[in-house]
Structure 1
């Protein structure tokens, strides 16, 4: 019993991370949040021909959410992952009365305002939410809604996984449920993984991009700071590029 207690109290071994080693050079872009202007500017700064992965959260809070979705849908050369804001939008479409208030208070209000839908709040109920959903679906169109629904959750390259929000550090990345990859895990930012995998992600706002302890954190709060950040991850190292 004493041995078991000492085992539990003993600090976890320090994680040792090899350098990020992708299969080939690629770029990862952090949360866009309706800043299509920043996205276009950042793409122009990236090296020609380098594959690009966006980590999700293309909508809400910024001024051009639906335009950003349309732009990305028309760029099959860019791999787009699903973020929690896309997840909230889809939930609102399916269940506007139940899911609408949560989305509205987390940036959906700005997205709907872009479409001319105003006078809503997180306390809105009933007919107004259904009407807002109908306007949103009409403006997006079935093809764009389906594109958002089908967004993948993860991309792999070498010893790097790209997700939106993070992963449970105690569980193999591939075994994390979709909710964790989209919404995050309470231990992700504080507990290094022990398996040597690097995770490139957004979701959690940082002042500047961070490459440390197996995490490549790229959400620099573009909607508020005007700074959208990418990491160009090459076999020889990582270059951070921002607007």
Structure 2
């Protein structure tokens, strides 16, 4: 079964190429300190613990107007996808830290599944079952065949809060500040930022992982999980596979450079 998963998930990857493009945003250059968090994948307790460390660091460093960027993949695999989305969807956390939530490939595919379960059934094999259980839909989390999933749309819409769907619909796919680029997966090497496709920003691995951006930018991303953060050619990957390793990773970027928190 394991060897079939990439092929099954490719349906969602291909459809991402055909969807209306998501927003790309430019961050106010006056922000001097940016924190980024890698793939969360339903690990709500780890997220709260890491955000507490970020808040402590910001206060200890007397950071003015700190910004936190989530790099996407809030759901699937871990136990608390619903709680993570509720947290990310909050407008004001009361801690003085502004937040930007970017879209990951799992988030994009979840939205497609909500709209059309039968034609996005592959999502169930990459952690979607855990997401459904977090919404109290464990009684359908075992379903895999499109014909069995075709009728669950009404119960999905009843169980998933409107604010979660609105969040998923409006997640931007890239944020930039100066020469620093924040995305979920990476960028197509040598292609101007304005010409990057959502498909690549959400899904790319090679040749980006080997070559880096091949542009005068530095890319902060997740998507490709490892046991530790990876400092590659003009790129830093901070997906440390929290759902299986228990380690959620954050990066602190300032004009002086970047370091793991």
> Which range, TM-score by smaller chain?
0.7 to 0.9
Which consecutive unaligned segments of at least 5 residues does structure 2 have? 1-28, 59-64, 93-97
Tell me the CA shift for residue 128 of structure 1: 4.0
Does residue 1:213 correspond to 2:213, yes or no?
no
Aligned to 2:147: 126
Tell me if structure 2 keeps the 8 A contact 1:24–1:157: no
- Write 1 or 2 for the structure with the bigger share of helix: 2
Tell me if structure 2 keeps the 8 A contact 1:210–1:218: yes
TM-score (norm 1): 0.84
Q: How many residues align?
A: 219
Find the residue that maps to 2:259 and give its secondary structure: strand
Q: Work out the CA distance in 1 between the residues paired with 2:100 and 2:123.
A: 24
Does residue 1:74 correspond to 2:95, yes or no?
no
Equivalent position to 2:36, from 16, 20, 28: 28
Matches within 5 A, 1:7-86: 24-46=32-54, 47-48=57-58, 49-76=65-92, 77-86=98-107
Which consecutive unaligned segments of at least 5 residues does structure 1 have? 1-20
Change (3 A) 1:22 1:218: farther
Does residue 1:231 correspond to 2:251, yes or no?
yes
Q: Work out the CA distance in 2 between the residues paired with 1:217 and 1:232.
A: 13
Equivalent position to 2:185, from 157, 162, 165: 165
Does residue 1:90 correspond to 2:111, yes or no?
yes
Aligned to 1:151: 171
Change (3 A) 1:193 1:128: closer
After superposing the two structures, state which structure 1 stretch, 34-43 or 106-115, moved more.
106-115
RMSD (Å), alpha carbons:
1.9
Q: Work out the CA distance in 2 between the residues paired with 1:120 and 1:81.
A: 26
After superposing the two structures, state which structure 1 stretch, 103-112 or 117-126, moved more.
117-126
Find the residue that maps to 2:251 and give its secondary structure: strand
Give the number of the structure whose alpha-carbon radius of gyration is greater.
1
Tell me if structure 1 keeps the 8 A contact 2:226–2:239: yes
Q: Work out the CA distance in 1 between the residues paired with 2:143 and 2:192.
A: 37
Q: Work out the CA distance in 1 between the residues paired with 2:123 and 2:170.
A: 20
Tell me the CA shift for residue 120 of structure 1: 4.2
Tell me if structure 2 keeps the 8 A contact 1:25–1:232: yes
After superposing the two structures, state which structure 1 stretch, 179-188 or 63-72, moved more.
179-188
